[in-house]
A and B are shown apart, each in its own frame.
Chain A
Amino acid sequence: MRMKLVASVAVCALTTMALAPNAHRNAGGTVAGKVTFTGTPPKMKPIDMAKEPSCAKEHATPVMNESVVTGAGSTLGDVVVYISAGAPSGAAPASPAVFDQKGCQYLPHVLAMQAGQKLEVKNDDQTSHNIHPLSKVNPEWNKSQPPGAPPIEVAYDKPEFIPVKCNVHPWMHGYFAVLNTSHSAVTGSDGSFSLAGLPPGKYTVTAWQERFGTQSQEVTITGNETAKLDFVLKATEY
């Protein structure tokens, strides 16, 4: 009897310890779903990197333009889904958002971060880049980064969707999604997203795609449930 009690206490303690690091993420509700499109999306063209042989040789097949990324079943990738209203305010995550320049591409193509969060821009190429985020609300800057240079560390204070270009390689193109919230996700090509750890409340969830604009929906979380929410964006060919 006594042994049983000790054993169960031990099991309980171990379970709690195992779950503890994720406890705050698991508490609360989740909004999850898929982003798809209707209509005809524009045809993405291959990028000719012949002028930069060190990058061209990193790609076995030509890299396609990434402004519209689609998957099987009309799913839409690189869509930022975030809580645009009702989100619990919180400090920006301590870990930096990392933007990499590799093979003369921006990885990821769309990077979501919270206002005030540290942003780290790396150059993993054997060529110089000149990163130039075209911000309008936040101060604009552009910085040259030769191969092997240390990461550029910056932070944006105000929410804004910022197109990013390279002043040396015209085809390089990406986005910084600076948001008021840490509750955000960028969809993969399967279009799925999940926003976890939401306390009960009413939220506005917004999906943003660089070519097809934004769409918002309201959702109410009451406990630990997963609310299903799908977005259908209207694609235009041109």
Chain B
Amino acid sequence: MGKLFAAAVVVIALVSAGVFVAHVWWLPPDISALGLRIDRQLDETMIFTGVLFVAAQIALAVFVWQSSGREGAIRIFPGGPMPLVGVATVIVGLEVLTLIFVGTRVWAKIFLAPVEANAVHIDVQAGQFAFYFRYPGPDGKFGVPHPDLIDEGNSNFFGLDPKNDTSARDDIVSASLVVPVDRPVLLTMHSKDVGHSLYIPQLRLQQDFVPGLVIPVHFTATGITRTEIVCTQLCGLGHYNMRAYFEVLSKDAYEKWLVDQAGQ
């Protein structure tokens, strides 16, 4: 019975690892300038944890196999359970710290890098249960948002004050995130109500919205695409239905889109 269990453990471990090695369920192709670093880090993490996982399962199987049918022969860890827990904590802790250290460096290189001066600035607001994206319009300036003026029924999703604030009059508000290809994009992300999350797997980009904070995120899309953005932070009753579209357009198509939106 013990030998059967040991064999089953090895089979389950190898099949599970094989699914990852073969990339059966994997991220969609990367279309961002810096996504390669994330992918490389993801691969390193997967190899590191994957090797440890398979080694641990095989070790477990070996001990089970050896001890099978030899009741009374089971030995305990030298010194009893306390040193066992201590050694395990140190080993696992070192693994986790190593991953955090290496991963954070890659993350910081991408997220904390300075934003290029020619970046397209888009203001992003998440609210129950939709995303809205704001472009500064022909004047290149954003109107100042006033949360008390938010009036969704009248399409004033950002609480702009076009009566008194002339820079707000030409702001373009879209329900889709439309960006030009091969040009840096800066998103300033804020939430109207609760926590939400923006996840665009093609860009290897995921960032939470935190109420009260304006969080900058930047990326450069390198391929034309149209894909779905879904909220990846449980935000309430309509969470399942909180989505938008992400479109990367050629330079000309993007300029035309802006003109069309400004004319509406």
A residues lining the B interface (CB < 8 Å): 42, 45-52, 65, 67, 127-128, 130, 144, 163, 165, 167-173, 211, 238
Chain B positions 143-184 with a Cβ under 8 Å from a chain A Cβ: 152-155, 157, 162-163, 174-176
Inter-chain contacts of A238 with B (CB < 8 A): 162-163
B residues lining the A interface (CB < 8 Å): 127-131, 152-155, 157, 162-163, 174-176, 237-238, 241-245, 264
In the complex, residue of chain B having the shortest beta-carbon distance to the beta carbon of A66: B153
Give Cα distance in the complex from A167 to B153, angstroms.
12
In contact, A51 and B244 (Cβ under 8 angstroms)? yes
Inter-chain contacts of A49 with B (CB < 8 A): 175
In contact, A130 and B154 (Cβ under 8 angstroms)? no
In the complex, residue of chain B having the shortest beta-carbon distance to the beta carbon of A164: B153
In contact, A47 and B241 (Cβ under 8 angstroms)? no
Contacts A45-B264, A48-B175, A130-B238; A173 near B152 (Cβ below 8 A): yes
B72 to chain A, nearest CB (A): 61
Known pairs A211-B154, A238-B163. 11 more at Cβ < 8 A? A50-B245, A51-B175, A51-B242, A65-B155, A127-B241, A167-B129, A168-B237, A169-B129, A170-B127, A170-B130, A170-B157
Of B157, B163, B174, B241, which is within 8 A of A168 by CB?
Answer: B241
Give Cα distance in the complex from A131 to B174, angstroms.
24
Inter-chain contacts of B163 with A (CB < 8 A): 238
A73 to chain B, nearest CB (A): 24
11 intermolecular pairs with C-beta atoms under 8 Å apart: A45-B264, A47-B155, A48-B175, A51-B131, A51-B175, A65-B155, A127-B241, A167-B237, A170-B129, A170-B130, A211-B154
In contact, B237 and A65 (Cβ under 8 angstroms)? no
In contact, A45 and B245 (Cβ under 8 angstroms)? no
Of A50, A128, A163, which is within 8 A of B241 by CB?
Answer: A128
Inter-chain contacts of B241 with A (CB < 8 A): 51-52, 127-128, 168
A63 to chain B, nearest CB (A): 11
A37 to chain B, nearest CB (A): 17
Q: Say what secondary structure dominates the interface of chain A.
A: loop
A136 to chain B, nearest CB (A): 16
In contact, B155 and A171 (Cβ under 8 angstroms)? yes
Inter-chain contacts of A167 with B (CB < 8 A): 128-129, 237-238
In contact, A48 and B128 (Cβ under 8 angstroms)? no
Inter-chain contacts of B176 with A (CB < 8 A): 48, 50
Give Cα distance in the complex from A52 to B238, angstroms.
12
In the complex, residue of chain A having the shortest beta-carbon distance to the beta carbon of B160: A238
B196 to chain A, nearest CB (A): 13
In contact, B237 and A51 (Cβ under 8 angstroms)? no
In contact, A173 and B244 (Cβ under 8 angstroms)? no
Contacts A51-B175, A170-B130; A165 near B243 (Cβ below 8 A): no
Contacts A46-B264, A48-B176, A51-B244; A170 near B237 (Cβ below 8 A): no
Contacts A167-B128, A167-B238; A173 near B175 (Cβ below 8 A): no
Q: Which of B163, B174, B264 has the most CB of A within 10 A?
A: B264
Q: Which of A42, A50, A128, A144 has the most CB of B within 10 A?
A: A50
Give Cα distance in the complex from A48 to B257, angstroms.
14
Give Cα distance in the complex from A50 to B229, angstroms.
11
In the complex, residue of chain B having the shortest beta-carbon distance to the beta carbon of A44: B155
